[in-house]
Amino acid sequence: MKILVTGAAGFIGSHLCERLLEINEIEVIGIDGFINPSLKQTKLRNLRLLLTNPRFQFHQVDLRDADLKNLLEGVQVVYHLAAMPGVRTSWGTDFQAYVDHNIVATQILLEAVREHPLTKFIYISTSSVYGEKVGKVSETSMPTPLSPYGVSKLTGEYLCKVYQASYAIPIVILRYFTLFGPRQRADMAFHRFIKGILQRESIQIYGDGLQTRDFTFIKDCVEATVAALDAEGVIGEIINIGGRERASILEVISLLEYLLNKKANLEFTERLKGDPLDTWADISKAQTLLNYNPVCSLKTGLEQQIIDIRSNHMSH
């Protein structure tokens, strides 16, 4: 089976490709546009293991300029992860990049697969589409994004839906809740916290630090994502992928202080615009349809992320 993965050099994409290649008969074609020049070294490092695998081909190309007809040759499943991430940077003139990479690129890809019969088109979305909700959030909850980023990802979902309705593209939408683990981008919270504590720098906390997240370990998330490949009855569905444990930002900091045996130097600053206070995934649908059962605790996941950061960043 041939699978196309967009965003293959990213934090999630590289883990997904590695996991897919553990399945013997799968070949993976990875695309990544390297759209953020500052992440180039990180992405090359993410690809290191993949590039040694003969069943992996990589193309560094922007989806909007790619020869998709050729890239899709023989492909049965597409995982569409490529996107401009980040709530904080999605305001102002930067929004144009979110329109280009999250909306326009998705539409171009859907147009290309329209001509090309797939068994599944798996679109990776985000809990940011929900906005501020109280309690556990199920997939039937009304999306009310709080940030331009959330709006751009929800627009991608709606594009998937209209292409499914008109052209019977076999869409599956997975909504990820706050991911962490090895290879997490340097601008993401846990990476900033670990590095800050290790280097004894002050760490910025937006708001009071009491906001909670449904933290999802990368390997759990990837298991669910791979399960969507063979799962029955998932076409046309939206499925939450959340973690095993929720925690507040301050609880995460104190766990990191314990694991690193160092005190964090916190600097509180105003709450971020567009950031919900709490996220909590109802994952019963993923449990039913994908047999999903997140196993990694926050502590174990953080230990793995610390090892990764120490080996990759502290050596420079």
Active site amino acids:
149
Q: Which residues contact 19 (CB under 8 A, 6 or more apart)?
A: 222, 223, 226
Amino acid identity, position 18: E
37 burial via Cβ count (<10 Å: 0-12, 13-18, 19+)? exposed
* Contact (Cβ atoms closer than 8 angstroms) between residue 184 and residue 10: no
CA 263 to chain centre: 30
Q: Which pairs with CB-CB distance under 8 Å and at least 24 residues apart come from 68-72? A: 68/108, 68/109, 68/112, 69/112, 69/115, 69/116, 71/4, 71/29, 71/31, 72/4, 72/112, 72/113, 72/116
> What's the CA gap between 283 and 137, in Å, rounded?
9
Closest CA to 238 of 152, 124, 146: 124
Q: Which residues pair with 269 in a beta bridge?
A: 206
> What's the CA gap between 60 and 89, in Å, rounded?
24
> What's the CA gap between 316 and 313, in Å, rounded?
6
